Amino acid sequence: MRLRRRQERRGAIAVEFALTMPLLLVLIAAIIDFGWYFNQQMMLLHSVREGARTGATTSQDGDPLGDAEARVSAALMEAGLDASAATVTASFSGTAPQELITVSATLPFQPIVTLVPLPVSLNGELTMRMEDQPD
């Protein structure tokens, strides 16, 4: 009698496992993809911040916009992201002594698992006040 109950229970466990395993796998895939997405987004924002900081501290006699864009690309490469696929722009706004530099970047996102729909691009933008401004 006991042996029969144990065998019946084994069948129920197998059915429960078969029903819950796909949901568990989708949940694990979602965790992996969201983690990958947020990691890349954080690295992109860090790179944009590095570029804005470089542009804000570069002398007006130099090329702050070009330096900022180059620093974003270099920071993306240091982070292990594809800098050649990124679209980086830098621009000035305002007038001295409140001149601002805005750096933005867009990078295509490639999910690892692709079971969960996520945005297809990563975007980052940062504005800083220029430090070396004519009086």
pLDDT tens, residue by residue, 18-72: 999 999 999 998 899 989 999 999 999 999 999 999 999 987 778 889 999 999 9
Q: Is residue 105 part of a domain?
A: yes
Q: Which residues pair with 102 in a beta bridge?
A: 91, 127
90 in a domain, yes or no? yes
- Whether 134 maps to a domain, the answer reads no
Q: Structural domain tally of the chain?
A: 1
- Tell me what pLDDT residue 5 has: 62
Angle at the Cα of 79 from the Cα atoms of 77 and 83, rounded to 5 degrees: 30
Domain range for 93 is 2-129
Residue 115 banded pLDDT, cuts 50, 70, 90: confident
> 3-class DSSP state for residue 97?
coil
pLDDT confidence of 14, banded at 50, 70, 90? confident
**This model's pTM is above 0.75:** yes
Residue 135 lies inside a defined structural domain of this protein:
no
Q: 32 lies in a domain?
A: yes
How much is the pLDDT for 6? 62
CA distances (Å), 98 to each of 23, 91, 92, in order? 54, 14, 10
Question: Concatenated DSSP letters for 107-125?
Answer: EE---SS-SS---SEEEEE
Closest C-alpha among 109, 128, 123 to residue 68: 128
pLDDT recorded at residue 42: 96
What local confidence, expressed as pLDDT, does residue 46 receive? 96
Q: In the prediction, which pLDDT does 133 show?
A: 60
Residue 95 lies in a domain: yes
Largest CA distance in the chain: 95
Tell me the pLDDT band of 118, cut-offs 50, 70 and 90: confident
What pLDDT digit, counting tens, does each position of 77-93 carry? 999 999 999 999 999 88
The pLDDT value given to residue 7: 61
Start-to-end CA span in the chain (Å): 95
CA-only gyration radius of the chain, Å: 25
Reference 51, options 71, 66, 80, 74; nearest CA is: 71
